[in-house]
């Protein structure tokens, strides 16, 4: 009876998509599903199964799900970008499209999971080239390790459906760091947000705080939101004009004008949402004294080392203790992903 029930359920909920690859990585279980020419990259964590990217193998230059198209509105602000940063590789939908229309643009991609890169190459026809590099790194560490600036930064960093954007990638400080990596006056940052996530309101508020202009593009009956943040304003009619010009010169296979229709006219976020900040342990005042004490005692100790007196042994213990305290503060003084809400 039980088996019959399961069989019926399977028939009712038959997924036409077949699992073709499954790869366990340190971050999640990466799956590739196939349904005719449609191929999905899905992330499976604790039983959830989220479609991260979808590609039509017969038509790889047209995004097969809605939100990557919306990110292409960035081209309205920068029709001829020379430097683009993509945060989160997925099935490389955007790098593939951008490379096709902009063969001379430098495209940097940062992706934390080396297995995502492997899957993109093996199952989604992703190829790097001399002007397109994938950096396997945490986005924040990468951002802080570079000095260059970009015309466009595209950020899509959903870890998993119930976690959303990792905490350290949605704080006020990180948003400031991203802003510093944009070309002054012309750069734009595009962030994929989800309206039904509990981090939506605070992320929106942080961007309002950091950037002069913010525009939300929303797919109809969908919770995807693409937030464009930058230094320059455009009216919707200017957006339509630029989209028409660009479509004419670039012969896009996707409809950019249609994306402009998705511009949200009003702010729908909670203005009282908290502004999330990094939680950084501030070393106590006396810590600055410790290295001084350390240096002083080293001199003293070298002097009395040969005497092997009890004082020497006491100081050796003292030294070991201060060293470990310094080490402790150094290690906790970096990024911390624990939640700290500051209103
Ligand atoms: C979209 O949502 C509206 C109400 O919010 C509903 O009336 C409409 O039928 C929905 N459209 C689709 C295609 O689901
Ligand atoms: C693009 O979308 C707009 C708005 O929906 C529509 O008016 C236009 O005809 C579309 N263009 C093409 C080439 O499909």
Are 116 and 39 in a shared domain? no
The number of folded domains in the chain is: 3
| Minimum CA distance residue for ligand 2 atom 11 | 255
In testing the pocket of ligand 2, which one of 247, 257, 261 has its CB within 8 Å of the most ligand atoms? 257
Are 104 and 176 in a shared domain? yes
For the stretch 168-200, pLDDT in tens is 999 999 999 999 999 999 999 999 998 888 889
Confidence check: pLDDT of 222 > 90: no
Domain range for 43 is 15-55
Task: Quote the ligand 1 centre to 221 CA distance (angstroms).
Answer: 6
User: CB within 6 Å of ligand 2 — which residues?
Assistant: 255, 257-258, 261
* Residue 78 placed within a domain: yes
| Minimum CA distance residue for ligand 2 atom 2 | 258
For the stretch 38-76, pLDDT in tens is 999 988 776 677 788 888 999 888 888 778 889 999 999
Are 30 and 69 in a shared domain? no
| Catalytic site includes residue 156 | yes
The CATH number of whichever domain residue 133 belongs to comes to 3.40.50.150
Confidence check: pLDDT of 298 > 90: no
Are 291 and 246 in a shared domain? no
Could you identify the atom of ligand 2 that is nearest to the CA of residue 255?
A: 1
Identify which has the larger pLDDT, 328 or 270: 270
Are 230 and 320 in a shared domain? no
Strand partners, 155: 87, 191
Q: What is the pTM of this model?
A: 0.78
* Residue 170 placed within a domain: yes
Say if residues 189 and 169 touch (Cβ distance below 8 Å).
no
Provide the mean pLDDT of the chain.
83
Least confident of 15-19, 28-32, 138-142, 223-227: 15-19
How far apart are alpha carbons 70 and 258 in whole angstroms?
A: 9
User: Active site residue: 83, 113, 151, 156, which one?
Assistant: 156
* Distant-in-sequence, close-in-space partners of 226: CB < 8 Å, separation ≥ 6: 67, 70, 71, 73, 190, 191, 192, 193, 216, 217, 218
């Amino acid at each position: 009876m039980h088996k019959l029930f399961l069989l019926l359920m399977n028939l009712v909920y038959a997924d036409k998509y077949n699992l073709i690859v499954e790869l366990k990585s340190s971050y999640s279980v990466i799956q590739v599903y196939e349904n005719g020419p449609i191929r999905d990259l899905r992330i499976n964590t604790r039983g959830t199964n989220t479609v991260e990217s979808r590609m039509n193998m017969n038509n790889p230059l047209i995004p097969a799900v809605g939100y990557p198209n919306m990110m292409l509105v960035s081209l309205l602000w920068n029709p001829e970008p020379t430097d683009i940063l993509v945060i989160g590789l997925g099935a490389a939908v955007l790098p593939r499209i951008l490379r096709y229309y902009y063969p001379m643009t430098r495209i940097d991609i940062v992706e934390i999971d080396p297995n995502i890169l492997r899957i993109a190459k093996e199952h989604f026809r992703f190829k790097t080239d001399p002007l397109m590099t994938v950096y396997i790194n945490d986005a924040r560490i990468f951002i802080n390790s570079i000095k260059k600036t970009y015309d466009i930064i595209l950020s899509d960093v959903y870890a998993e459906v119930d976690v959303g954007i990792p905490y350290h990638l949605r704080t006020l400080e990180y948003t400031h760091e991203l802003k510093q990596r944009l070309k002054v006056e012309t750069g734009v940052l595009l962030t994929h947000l989800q309206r039904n996530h509990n981090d939506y309101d605070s992320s929106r508020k942080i961007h309002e705080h950091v950037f002069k202009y913010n525009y939300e593009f929303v797919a109809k009956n969908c919770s995807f939101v693409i937030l464009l943040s930058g230094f320059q304003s455009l009216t919707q009619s200017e957006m339509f004009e630029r989209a028409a010009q660009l479509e004419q010169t670039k012969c896009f296979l996707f409809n950019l004008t249609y994306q402009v229709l998705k511009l949200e006219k009003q702010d729908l976020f909670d203005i009282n949402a908290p502004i999330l900040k990094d939680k950084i342990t501030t070393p106590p005042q006396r810590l600055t004294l410790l290295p001084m004490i350390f240096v002083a005692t080293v001199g003293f100790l070298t002097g009395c080392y040969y005497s092997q007196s009890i004082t020497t042994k006491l100081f050796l213990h003292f030294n070991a203790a201060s060293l470990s305290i310094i080490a402790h503060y150094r290690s906790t003084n970096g990024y911390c992903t624990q939640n700290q809400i500051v209103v």
